[in-house]
Chain A
């Protein structure tokens, strides 16, 4: 059973045995009143019938055919797959936090409110911004919140004609998607040859219709916008706001304050910078920081402090309202807070410094064989491309990515950013050791040799996973989405 390629992949429903039970609820207080005619459920839902032991084995086995950072190096660029400290899980699971109802009386919620208040304060200090909301549930949800704040701000100052959001072509897809979700026009500007925003090109697009210039810093090529001061000044002069997508904040934490760069609105992703686990797709937790003039537009409730007492404040007439029910993903924020408690100023700077060092080490050792998109030093991640000789044999980035899986490494982010042909985007994060990175580098070199000697070996990869390459076209053409 140790050979995962032979693992039994039956569904839970296919293991079901009618009449088998696990969790039961023995009724103590009667069954309630009669159900009104026509409102009773007619057919029982088709859920599996299993013993607790069946369920535990089924999901434990499935866990064994899943890559994770606890088990594998995960150099996914822009996703910042760093180690998730175990203490975070323990503290968030404490009954005092986990059992707190979101509508609890403030008097019964002082611990959580104090935690949220201090977390907001520390995030303000780290980003150089004046106020934070922790309501958004994830990064994209934060972008939605941030742009909504911009929209409300412009409405308030009588400039609702500002309907354009400018973002570079290297931006995450969420940036233009968020802009159009809110009825803005997403205006794409081309990156310059060095991968940075070209201020002259930006200037040509700026005007009295521009609401926000939305930048990822460092950008998705792992490069810092060196002319950010000039860019922010131009945007402000045109009456626009500057939004920073903080997906790559891991490169700057403790060494640069985005507020100093001229950023007016910024989001953070706790599952990237602040070590909270990503759970196979989520939950994340977001946060939006703003400069003073935008504070009144933040969602409600805000957490306020009066003397030594904390309270939730719903009375903010200019607020955009709510982006989700209740507060934010507090359970995730609790983990991020514990992580911050464990870092002094100097240790926070160490996160960014080691992230940058590790990324440059990978880049410098790999780029002779895997040409880098940029000759500059990188920040926290680098973008490489496949060896020319392999490309000549018809091998693609995808083939290299799939072969990496055979060696126990998750593939880097591939085919992103869109502006780099066959991109391989590598982000080791600060928590990986030199040993692990060396092993990855050797494997990349070995794959290059394998590809040169036997291209088919790569084209057929992976060979050691539970399944071979999957037919994605079939999946989309004949969707099978449920049992």
Chain B
């Protein structure tokens, strides 16, 4: 499949090389290792059969009406995003190592970095990381590197996926100390934070909206952290920034986010987009690719990958990170998505999300045997406390009504009790969808 060489081509090439078979070219491989038995199918599928097989698998994902969020969000993806990123010129390009022939992707990276800086109100951004969680891990690493301090304060209400990834990024290293900032009513407990902060603190790692969907008082957290001489690493959902204060406005030193919300499908966890931005004094501590504007020899504007002395292919074991491939095409999706929405569209989107979630919360809290767990302001998801076991309720409603009511939190936060359920409603949900959810829970509870 997909090989152009005909038998005649192969013979001509072998002749030009001066050998009689490909096996002659493989003499450097000890023969005992060549052509072993493989436990693989003898036959392959043709294109149509492959399409059919893949459709059968896709259809085996049963696609219930879903109210899952928790770090990945069901979104409407405008048709223009999909059409543009499907262009082979973008899709099948490599990293722009020869800038003169890759001005297209380089300019889009520059536009991406600019859009991220605008959205997060930060000075500079890189060309992307793997996802929000790994970007968060890299930002905390950078903060530890810059301050040469060990203690990292993490809010208790951080997305557990982020926390697990963060811990892996520091795995087995004795250069750090993770301390959890206790929460009160689902939010960072400011008194406890103040007590934990000290001259030994490298950074405060915060997330807003937090895992429960609640808005943290990030300006206050940031103020306390800076007063103690610690850096601030802030994770923020990009869509929420259509309404809420961006990390740069409260002085965050590093800002990260999960860019999946900006035009990327859910695809069972990836490819997503790690948004990474920082203050300009830390630009040389940024991991990954960065595009910059420059001039050609005639003085014409052009773009290149720059500040490469931070990167693995130059610095090897002294590099800021080992990252090589990033999520360039996902960054392009986000760039196009933000260009389509503009400042006004982003605000509308954020409002629509807040509106859908508020509507859902009001309806669900009206069910006998269900109530909102926390009182604080939330964005597009919230914790509902249901009578009995939320996981059992999820199973029951999924089987009966083909609705996934949300994520039970019992395993992640046992202290919340067995009834805690994280429910999300984005712009994709209509009034009819939300009323269906309400009815299903009311009947099942």
Contact = CB atoms under 8 A, between A and B. Distances in A.
A44 interface: yes
A444 interface: no
Given A107-B62, A321-B168, A329-B271, A341 B45 contact: yes
B188 interface: no
A358 B301 CA distance: 38
Interface stretch (B177-185, B199-207, B320-328, B437-445): B320-328
A206 B16 CA distance: 43
Tell me the interface secondary structure of chain A in the complex: loop
**Most A-side CB within 10 Å, residue of B78, B168, B244:** B168
B246 interface: yes
Given A278-B93, A280-B105, A324 B87 contact: no
A465 B161 contact: no
A330 B271 CA distance: 7
Interface residues of A, number: 205
Interface stretch (B149-157, B190-198, B226-234, B289-297): B289-297
B332 A280 contact: yes
A68 B86 CA distance: 12
Given A39-B217, A79-B94, A148-B168, A25 B4 contact: no
A125 interface: yes
Contacts of A346: 42
Interface in B117-170: 117-119, 121, 123-125, 127-128, 130-134, 159, 161-162, 164-165, 167-168
A177 B315 contact: yes
A304 interface: no
Given A186-B316, A341-B44, A345-B38, A471 B50 contact: no
B327 A280 contact: no
Given A111-B61, A122-B40, A278 B95 contact: yes
B124 A482 contact: yes
B90 A174 contact: no
**Most A-side CB within 10 Å, residue of B272, B300, B342:** B342
Interface in B15-68: 16-19, 22, 24-30, 33-36, 38-47, 49-51, 53-64, 66, 68
Given A114-B57, A139-B324, A174-B322, A347 B44 contact: yes
A401 B24 CA distance: 31
Nearest to A431: B2
14 contacts: A41-B249, A45-B119, A50-B339, A70-B91, A84-B92, A94-B54, A101-B268, A112-B268, A125-B38, A137-B325, A323-B134, A377-B26, A466-B100, A482-B125
Contacts of A354: 3, 5, 10
Nearest to A361: B13
Interface stretch (A58-66, A234-242, A384-392, A446-454): A58-66
B90 A280 contact: yes
A336 interface: no
Contacts, number: 708
**Most B-side CB within 10 Å, residue of A181, A228, A277, A334:** A181
Interface residues of B, number: 209
Interface in B395-445: 395, 398, 404, 407, 427, 430-431, 434
A38 B5 contact: no
Contacts of B365: none
A62 B80 contact: no
Nearest to B311: A173
B381 to A, nearest CB: 12
B118 to A, nearest CB: 4
A59 B134 contact: no
Contacts of A79: 94
Contacts of A416: 313
Contact of B63 (A99, A115, A139, A347): A99
Contacts of A32: 351, 353-355, 357-358, 379
B101 A278 contact: no
A21 B270 contact: no
A349 B171 CA distance: 39
B44 A342 contact: yes
Nearest to A330: B268
Given A97-B268, A433-B5, A279 B329 contact: yes
